Structure 1
Amino acid sequence: MIKVVGVRFKKAGKIYYFDPMDLKINQDEKVIVETARGMEFGMAVVLEKEVKDDEIVSPLKPILRIATEEDISQSAENKILAHEAYKLCEEKVKEHNLDMFLVDAEYTFDRNKLIFYFTAEGRVDFRDLVKDLAAVFRTRIELRQIGVRDEAKSIGGLGCCGKPLCCSTWLGEFQPVSIKMAKDQGLSLNPTKISGVCGRLFCCLKYEHETYEAVIEDMPEVSSIIQTPDGVGKVIDTNVLMEEVKVLMDNKDTVDIRKYKTHEIKVLKKPKRSQDTELKALEKELKKLED
């Protein structure tokens, strides 16, 4: 087990582990840490704890010191300089007529590197742009292409729920999301209706999916033949939230449809397993939209 402190460098950014050394660090305290790209300014969001060796990326970098007033002032100044650099880079992108969209810019804490984040449809030859920027800022320049989800996280916005995007407010890391999650939750399978501002499936489809999966395990599939307290019937619909099934009773004289809780029924015969062609078609359509 290794003692670590979790540090975040951006709002809703990924949490990285660092060696606290002999420092006594409080919650949300500003710190200066050593990273692969030099000294960085961050916030301690996870207090000292012990983790297994396989949960960290070796070698574990140290926390150099608790940030001073001078450090905090320099970090604020870096943000102002990065904003100015962003505007100048936008002009340079137009001058070079490059097919790319500039998203953000940031300096490392020690200003040894200036990083520009951008999105583009394909590969971009920005070698001449880098030369121009290096001549102006006289520091190492890095242009980093990011995906649409990272773009939404950086820019922010409002979701269809009317609240600020999860990714830009609190979601530290993106989780894989599939259209099967929407299907399990009984949502519309139209990709345009279950996709966020980034054009990808809603991150929130992931939040409750484990609960849905646990309930679905105990529910019969549609078209299953089941035994109910009132006789044998066929499942024609399911309600996962209510843990309830709608059953067409085996009554040849009249149409008799009833509802039962899952604990009240017993599956007698499962439907023949068939390929879910609709789901596969939707996954292909979603892939086209993402490409």
Structure 2
Amino acid sequence: MSIEYNDHELPEDILDILGEEEFESPKALKPKPKDTENLPQPIYRLKTLHSNETFHAYYVSLDNNEHFMTLCELEAALAGPRQANHDTSPSEEVWNCKHGAASAVAEALQAEAIQEEAIKAESIQEEAIQEEGIQGEVIQADAIHAKSEIIPNRALVISPTKYGKDLVMVLGVVHDLSMVNADELVAIERPATVDDFRRYLDNLEHEEETFAKCRECIEAHNLPMKLISAHCLLEDSKILFFFTAESRVDFRDLVKDLVGIFHARIELRQIGVRDEARVTGGAGVCGRILCCHGLSDKLNPVSIKMAKDQNLSLNSVKISGPCGRLLCCLSYEHQFYRDARRELPNEGVRFTYDGTLFKVIEVNALLNKIRISGEDGRILDMDAARLKYLDGHWTVIEEDD
């Protein structure tokens, strides 16, 4: 994985603390004109569960018999008595025999009676539909088809990823197709089943052991790298490891040892500190989930100038995230501040007001106010709308009585 670097416009003392920022090249972030008319519809935004990376995909055809389930629905289905005992054997026909054979027989008879009632109700419903005519059947079929046109949000599906075929989550339908790259689109294969989810949970338990074993091997080889996570792909015999390091690491001997231990394909990926925060997650200074983990996985460039334009303190602790880099949210409102400050004077501007020379010492773009300090010692708060840039200098317009 190639990582590009760019220096912030930081003073030297802050640069020493924040270090270098890692992000994609602006050329890569710039959208290219695309022919959105030929794209398949609808297009979904998907998220990998292990690294919180997002990508776009489409689904070729939907069968009315297919059922897409969310994470909660799969957990409930897996916790069900018959789903939990998926292997078919004679003893599993009666799944709970804690109360003895008599209780088991009673439960079986009760289930048989319920099934007979369901069959009778179904036959009565079919007769009612036949009496209403074929129009009723068409309306019912159309309703079922309309119900399954769109994959529901947070549904789990099986889809190819850049790491391999895996279990991913559907975040929703993409309405703005301008940012969709047709070359990167993938096709969703099928909805996730209870068996897929069971295997996913088994992999999670196995990943803990895999992570611990890989870390032991790293210490044995004395490699200067920090292991972040381990992930076993759902349908591929491959284990993916994420790690961070200050420089390039020769881990060829480590890979040989891991292949011998796990008897699977091994992939080690070096990521940056911002990617580490996206993978591991956490809480920001605002108390909410980290933006890179729960909001967007696109790590856009952030500079110290954005903090200056928003009149934020340049204290590195206050404007840095858990990753040690500048907060991603500094870029969210930066454009608003840039547009607002075009009509406002900068700090240090001098002008005459009430017969006294004043200097702008603070600009509040949100409140559209400025704070000025006069040579006579007065400090005033003034509406920025009263200042106009005329004939090459700022002038205070008197308020109407």
Q: Which residue of 2 aligns with 1:31?
A: 157
> Under a length normalisation based on structure 2, what TM-score does the superposition of the two structures give?
0.60
Q: How does 1:138-287 map to 2 (within 5 A)?
A: 138-226=263-351, 230=354, 233-237=357-361, 238-248=363-373, 254-268=376-390, 269=392
Alpha-carbon offset, residue 225 of structure 1? 4.1
Q: Distance in 1 between matches of 2:175 and 2:287?
A: 37
Q: Specify which of 210, 221, 228 is matched with residue 96 of structure 1.
A: 221
Is the contact between residue 350 and residue 360 of structure 2 (CA under 8 Å) also seen in structure 1? no
Q: Percent identity?
A: 37
Which is strand-richer, 1 or 2?
1
1:14, distance to aligned residue in structure 2 (A): 3.0
| Larger deviation, residues 134-143 vs 217-226 | 217-226
For 1:282, the equivalent position in structure 2 comes to none
Q: 2:59 aligns with which of 6, 9, 20?
A: 20
Q: Distance in 2 between matches of 1:242 and 1:49?
A: 34
Letter in 1 for 2:166: E
Please give the alpha-carbon distance, in whole angstroms, between the structure 1 residues aligned to 2:285 and 2:154. Answer: 31
Normalised TM-score (structure 1): 0.81
| RMSD between superposed Cα atoms in Å | 2.5
Counterpart of 1:66?
191
Q: 1:30 corresponds to which letter in structure 2?
A: L
Instruction: Give the distance between the partners of 1:209 and 1:198, measured in 2 at CA.
Output: 21
Determine the structure 1 residue equivalent to 2:103. Answer: none
**8 Å contact kept, 1:224–1:267:** no
Bigger CA radius of gyration: 2
CA offset at residue 118 of structure 1? Answer: 0.7
Match of 1:43 in 2: 169
SS in 2 for 1:191: coil
Amino acid at match of 1:265: L
- Structure 1, residues 36-85: CA drift from partner, whole Å, max 9, x if none? 44322111111265724x72141532111111111121222222222221
The 3 A distance-change label for structure 1 pair 15 and 179 is same
Q: Aligned in 2, Cα 1:47/1:236: closer, same or farther, shift over 3 Å?
A: closer
Please identify runs of 4+ aligned residues in structure 1 that moved more than 6 A. none
Task: Check conservation: 1:226, 1:266, Cα contact below 8 A.
Answer: no
Q: Is the 8 A contact 2:165 2:236 kept in 1?
A: no
Amino acid at match of 1:113: K
Is this contact kept in 1: 2:50–2:231, CA < 8 A? no
Partner of 1:289: none
Do 2:370 and 2:382's aligned partners in 1 also have CA atoms closer than 8 Å?
A: yes
Change (3 A) 1:31 1:87: same
By relative contact order (CA 8 Å, sep 6+), the higher-ranking structure is 2
Name 1:7's counterpart in structure 2. Answer: 46
1:256, CA displacement in angstroms?
4.2
Residues 234, 247 of structure 1: 8 Å contact kept:
yes
